[in-house]
Every structure is written in structure tokens, then in C-alpha cells.
Amino acid sequence: MPLTGRKVTILGAGIAGLAVATALARRGAEAVVLERSDAIREVGAGLQISPNGVAVLEALGLGPALAAHGVRARAVHLRDFRAGREVLRLDLSTGRGAYHFIHRADLIEMLAGAARAAGVQIRLLHDITGVTIADGRAQLTTAQGAQAMADLLIGADGLHSVVRGALNGMAAPDFTGQVAWRALVPATGPVAPVAQVFMGPGRHLVHYPLRGGELINIVAVEEREIWADEGWNHDDAPENLRRAFADFGAGVPELLARVDHVNLWGLFRHPVAARWHSGPAAILGDAAHPTLPFLAQGANMALEDAWVLAACLERHSDTETAFAAYQAERRPRTIRIVDMASKNARNYHLSSPPLRALAHTALRLGGALAPGGALKRFDWVYAHDVAARYPLTAAPMP
């Protein structure tokens, strides 16, 4: 197998880290994942996996698990905030591929299981606080001051990646003037497998079902000057969420009344990294291209990165050539997606009533005249199949 005997160290046991570790192990590499926590865990939150991400999960052998743990999405409904009148319906069952809603913890558990089955070692309580790249190797420094060397290092260590810092230096992100709440509530009855998006002045709220319709995932975004810390582990009072969306109708107040725990975080704009690799080290996922959540592509981009990075290392025996091919393939696409996600926020939050009415009327007319046209605009996102572009050439692991 092309990567047999290659020792690869991956920092971070999140979506990107576990996916790339599995993709590398499936190609014969000896992959080790270092995770700072004492267990592989994720806070409760929902994710949308679009066909481009589904293609990678299926290539990793996780298609049946995704079908079992996810909710197959039927549509996205864009609605006016006050009365809930439908502005546009995006039909997700038109043959372009499967869309799924899944609990983040379930996806992490699936990926961890696949990694272990492929022979990946996952080592907990390994907090890497420093990386130095020199003489063709990467030196890792732990929080306790211990040092270790890595022949090949993959940084899947998220927003504040030490590997990204070693490659690009540290840059302060810009606050977008937006904060987001996340909450999960039990469903009180049957829930349609659709994402409901309520668009209002300076705010929008999304909810969709998880775990077979047992839970409802809520994401609510508000524009404001007072910023909140980055990262979704910060608790907030549910009453603050209810107050911010008090003038929303169509069942939103009743849904928010059931929230008893909510997390709040500030949304920050990070530039896509200029350098994704140097010598024996490379980055992927949020370490390379953090994105705002308004296109639901963070997890999907991490999965795509993982597959392409492993494929490039399989196809090119020279590491520098492999990493250069990976960056050339992935960076332009992620820049475009990050930019599109930023634009979506503005489209959801039109504050001028006349402008909002005009925009919503245009969406309704467009949807009536060309029912599939709105979704077709995003074919470049959803129809992009990296597993087909970079098929596994090595024999798959049993």
C-alpha cells in the first residue's frame, strides 16, 4: 500500500482529525491522534451534512451509520420572521444527493469508531502547546514542557491551531457584530425532516430535528455591538435568547419557551490561512479556514479536506509535492465558501422593511418560476464529490 509504514501524527480528535486519520490509515499509514481532553466528547449541537460531506462519509464506510443516526433532510423552508409566511422552499429530495441532520456527538462517535477499526491510535490528555518546524521534522511541546518529534504532522487542532500559528504566525480575528445561541429541546410530537429558517431584521433563527425527531436543534443569530467570546461552550441565560426573538411568531416563542439551557458565542471572521503546509506539517479544517455557520459547510469542508489530503499523500511520494497539491486543490474552494457564508448572513438579516419585502417577493417569484433554481445555484458546493475525484487506489482495510 502506498503509505505503508508512514508515521503520521494528527493533533485534534474532532471531525477533521478523526476523518483524516481514518483516510490515512485506510491507505496504510500508521496514524496517531493526540487529543488534549480526557475523553472524546462534543457539546450537544446539530450539524447539516450535505451531499459533498456525505460522499466522504460513505467513502470512509460510514454511510449506514449516517443513515442510522442522522435524519434524512427533505427540505429547507425560508420564512418571514413575524407571521412565518413561507418565502422559499428548497427541495432537498430532487436527486442531487442526500442531506442529513445529525448530532455532532453522534458524528464524532461514528468517526472515532471508524478510526479505531482502521488501526488508528487515539491518545488522550496530550495537550500540544507549541510546534517548531526545522530540519524536515516537527518538534512538539506539551503543556507540561515535554517534547516529542513527528515525522509527518497534521494540524486538525481547530480555531486556535498551534500548527497554523507555526506556519502563518498568529492573527487576531475580527468580530462580525453577530452572536449566536445554540440550544437543544425535546420534541413534543412528530417533527418534519426540514430545516426552518426564520429571517428577521438583524436576526435569524434556524431549527431542525435530530436523533429520529426526538430532539430539535436551535441556532439563533443576532447582530449587536456587544461581543461575546468565541467558542460555543459559554453558558447564557435562556431569557436573553427569548428576549432577543420576542417579536418572532409562527411557533418560535413556544419553541424558545422550552429552552432551559443555552450556549452563546461570538461570531468572528478569520482569514483563510495563506500557508497550509511547510516541510513535514500541514493543516486542515478550522485550522486552515474557519467559516461562519451561514452555509452549514464547516463539517463538510473538514471532511473534504481530510479525504483530499490523504489522497495527495497517497499519490505523491514527496511530502512537499503532496502538500502543495492539497493546498492548490482546497484553498480556492474554501475561500469561495467562506465568502459565500459571510454574504448569506447579510441576506438573512435585512433590516429595512421595504428592502426585506422586495427581496422576499423576488425569492417567492423566483421559486414559483423556477422551483429548483435557487438550490441549483449551490451545485458547485453540494455536487462536489472529492471521493469520486480522488478514489481510493489502495486496497481498503477490512
Cβ contacts of 333 within 8 Å, gap of 6 or more: 304, 384
Q: Are 269 and 292 in contact (CB under 8 A)?
A: yes
Residue by residue, DSSP assigns 321-367 as HHHHHHHHHHHHHHHHHHHHHHHHHHHHT---HHHHHHHHHHHHHHH
Is 208 noted as a catalytic residue in this protein?
A: yes
**CB-based burial, 326-362: b 16+ in 10 Å, e otherwise:** bbebbbebbeebbebbbebbeebbbeeeeebeeebee
Distance CA 62, CA 75 (A): 23
Catalytic residue among 208, 326, 348, 382: 208
Report how far residue 354's alpha carbon sits from residue 361's, in angstroms, rounded to the nearest whole number: 10
To the nearest 10°, the Cα dihedral for 68, 71, 75, 78? -160
Q: Give every strand in the sheet of 147-150, ordered side by side.
A: 128-134, 137-142, 147-150
Per DSSP, helices labelled H in the chain are 15-25, 51-59, 63-69, 104-117, 162-168, 238-244, 252-257, 298-315, 319-348, 353-369, 373-376, 379-382, 386-389
Residue 389 main-chain phi, psi, to 5 deg: -70, -35
- Listed in sequence order, the residues at least 6 apart from 105 whose beta carbon sits closer than 8 Å to its beta carbon are 41, 42, 43, 44
Number of Cβ atoms within 10 Å of the Cβ of 368: 9
3-class state of residue 228 by DSSP: coil
**Residue labelled with grid coordinates 488522550:** 124
Amino acid at 340: M
Place of cell 438583524: 202
Residue at 120: amino acid letter: V
Catalytic residues: 208
